[in-house]
Amino acid sequence: MARSKTSSAWLNEHVHDHWVQRAKAEGYRARAAFKLLEIDEKDRLLKSGEVVVDLGAAPGSWSQVAAAKVGPKGKVFALDLLDMDPLPGVRFLQGDFREESVLAELERRLEGAPVGLVLSDMAPNTSGMASIDQPRMMDLVELALDFARNHLKPEGAFLVKCFQGSGYPEFLKAMRETFVTVATRKPKASRDRSVEIYLLGKGLKR
């Protein structure tokens, strides 16, 4: 079946994308690596010896960055609905984060370790219809926030991708109720036309 004009245009843009080419040259699995690298350069989230949970990890570029930054004394736990090729220093669990059994298994693997950073680059399979995609996205980010509340150590941090739209102001309010400081980040590797934005919460309110 012939590709549509839209999919052909996306493929052409992707192939010639500066960040895609750079990711290949530097050995990262996806252009998304540079989003985390830029945010970490500014906010110093990834510390040596830290315990990191990466939600929505596949294909693994954020886990790559995290494992390199936390080093052999740190731990990176990655989770995704899709399979992910193994990465040194990364403990991967395949499953649907929305399912209680998958969450329970992730918690079991953590073995009570105090988590310093929760990363969430999760996003639903998009339909192109905001009325469908936005509620699905908000459901994921709310679950990720709940996980962060329950597992972060007091001085920990939570970095989450959101779509700006319906439900976003309410989620931002929930972030501000949960963390001492909340900031927005729009890294250069995020496409200009994308509605995605990253929220960073630091320090749990008690």
40 is in an annotated binding site: no
What is the layout of strands, in order, in the sheet containing 179-185? 90-94, 75-80, 51-55, 115-120, 152-163, 196-204, 179-185
Distances from the Cα of 55 to the Cα of 161, 179, 185, angstroms? 11, 19, 18
19 is in an annotated binding site: no
Question: Helix or strand or coil: residue 39?
Answer: helix
Question: Helix or strand or coil: residue 10?
Answer: helix
Q: State the catalytic residue, choosing from 35, 75, 161, 202.
A: 161
85 is in an annotated binding site: no
Among this protein's residues, is 42 annotated catalytic? no
121 is in an annotated binding site: yes
Residue 141 has which token pair? 């980010």
Q: Could you count the other beta carbons within 10 Å of the beta carbon of residue 1?
A: 3
User: CA–CA separation, 199 vs 184, rounded Å?
Assistant: 5
Binding positions: 60, 62, 80, 96, 121
Binding positions for S-adenosyl-L-methionine: 60, 62, 80, 96, 121
Catalytic site residues?
161
